[in-house]
Amino acid sequence: MNNLFLKVDGINSKEQALVWSINAALQRNKVYKNEEHYERREKLRQEWARLLSKEAQAYKNADHPISDEQHCAAIARIADALSSEFGEILAEGRLRFGTSQKALNLFLKYLWAFHEIQMPPHCPIDSVVLDRAGIAGSWTKCDSAEEYMGWINEIRKRLTLAEWENEIWLRWRISNSDL
């Protein structure tokens, strides 16, 4: 993987990767009940970053590829932990699976770009990816590992997930930037 991905996003460190992964998962996404609870939102972001780092350890230490089941379990652990602790500020009292996968998959993609892990098992699923794959769906509304894995399996028919997503994402990002 080349560093064009890191350059386009302006990511130079793991700390920036954590912040941007969470920000990207929150963009254009109704995650919170309302605009209140700023202090709790900050605590949620801090805990989310901690959980992403914790889950990423399994990918750093893996001597074999992480399975779909293991990866979906990591996504669910993050969503469930944040829902349990911060449900009172979250829309419908829950951080959805689709939002959790976006943050974890993007963070793993950054770690891959930094050569800290092998190729991640999945790519970040968002509206750009779903659109380019010709899949009708909304990652921001997805709260099901089954729906998510349906998308993953459809995309896998094309290429290796991470390489395919990186290629389409870079094309989209460059066409929408000043590079």
Model pLDDT, residue 2? 52
Model pLDDT, residue 171? 73
Rounded distance between C-alpha atoms, residue 123 and residue 105, angstroms? 6
Is the Cα dihedral 154, 77, 126, 3 positive or negative? negative
Model pLDDT, residue 133? 85
The one-letter code for the residue type at 108 is L
DSSP code of 88?
A: G
* Residues 140 and 98: beta-carbon distance below 8 Å: yes
Cα dihedral: 29, 91, 95, 22 (round 10): 40
Model pLDDT, residue 163? 66
Model pLDDT, residue 53? 98
- Answer yes or no: pTM beyond 0.85: yes
Per-residue confidence of the chain (179 residues) as pLDDT tens digits?
A: 457 788 888 899 999 999 999 999 999 899 999 878 889 999 999 999 999 999 999 999 888 889 999 999 999 999 999 999 999 999 999 999 999 999 999 999 999 999 999 989 999 999 988 998 889 999 999 999 999 999 999 888 866 656 666 677 777 777 776 65
Model pLDDT, residue 164? 64
* Residues 146 and 154: beta-carbon distance below 8 Å: no
Model pLDDT, residue 73? 98
Model pLDDT, residue 156? 84
Model pLDDT, residue 1? 42
